[in-house]
Structure 1
Amino acid sequence: MSFNSRSSSNRRSEYRLFISHSWEYSDEYNRMVELLRDYPNFSFRNYSVPKVDEIDADTEEELEQALREDQIKPATVVIILGGMYVAHSKWIKKETILAEIESKPILGVTPRGNEQMPNFVEDHADQIVGWQGKSVVEGIRDLAD
């Protein structure tokens, strides 16, 4: 028996995820969380902050620091939802750069029904997958394990 090969029994019991999103487009974020929750034999902790739990920060610097320390740093994988709004969201770009600074693998997810990804996501993602539960979960496992 080889101890070098990874089997499903060697996988993490829980994945720590940060799902980057824009509160203006929170439907995609909510659908992604639901997709992951519904996936069989997959457990995760979500370090993202939904709009209802906004971070208490008075300045952009405080917000950036809280994002880095409390959400991105503890995550195993950062997921960037590749809707075209990414091109217009400075915070999604900042979160992506923070993930790179913290050496976190980045999984880009192509929006449901789209084949195009924003160039920014293509340039920064370690892996890009389609919007299907199996693809997303396998991408997370590939990058985290």
Structure 2
Amino acid sequence: MRYRIFISHAWAYRETYWSIRAMLDKATATYSDFDYVDYSIPDHNPILSTKGALLTGPRLLAKAIQTRIDQSSVVLVPARMFVNHSDWVLKEIDYAIAKRYRVIALRSRSTLRVPTGLIQRVGSSIDANYRSLYAAITS
């Protein structure tokens, strides 16, 4: 089955986005019933206006992000401390929760502290590995 994924992340921490993508790719290669489409907005593929300029207006950008989340079946969020300091990530999480989309927080082994506010918002977290991610997305 093909799952529609939105990875919430901060551009300043792009390695987190790529590590989640690598886990999704590993799950795709390992499980024949799993595939995904990425509706995220990574820094290498930002949202552009109809004139081709980087979309920077907060209201327009928020609407564009909400549209991407609306197209997704699940929202993935890294359980890292930068989440507490990123207004955009928090807005993405709150929007997804308000719309009753599934939000999965991914806990990395290398992360010493997990933002408790994030866990309270989403309800739980999983280990950041392709097996746990596959199980959480497909359940």
TM-score (norm 1): 0.83
Tell me if structure 1 keeps the 8 A contact 2:97–2:122. no
| Aligned partner of 2:60 among 59, 62, 73 | 62
User: 5+ residue gaps in structure 1?
Assistant: 1-12
2:19 matches 1:31: yes
Question: Computing the radius of gyration over CA atoms, which structure comes out larger, 1 or 2?
Answer: 1
Match of 2:52 in 1: none
Mapped partners of 1:103, 1:60: distance in 2: 23
- SS of the aligned residue for 1:52 comes to coil
RCO comparison, higher one (Cα < 8 Å, 6+): 2
TM-score (norm 2): 0.87
Match of 2:72 in 1: 75
User: 5+ residue gaps in structure 2?
Assistant: 49-54
Tell me if structure 2 keeps the 8 A contact 1:110–1:116. no
Mapped partners of 1:25, 1:55: distance in 2: 18
| Aligned partner of 2:41 among 28, 49, 62 | 49
Mapped partners of 1:136, 1:123: distance in 2: 19
Match of 1:87 in 2: 84
How many residues were matched structurally?
129
Q: CA RMSD in A?
A: 1.3
- SS of the aligned residue for 2:125 comes to strand
Q: Percent identity?
A: 25
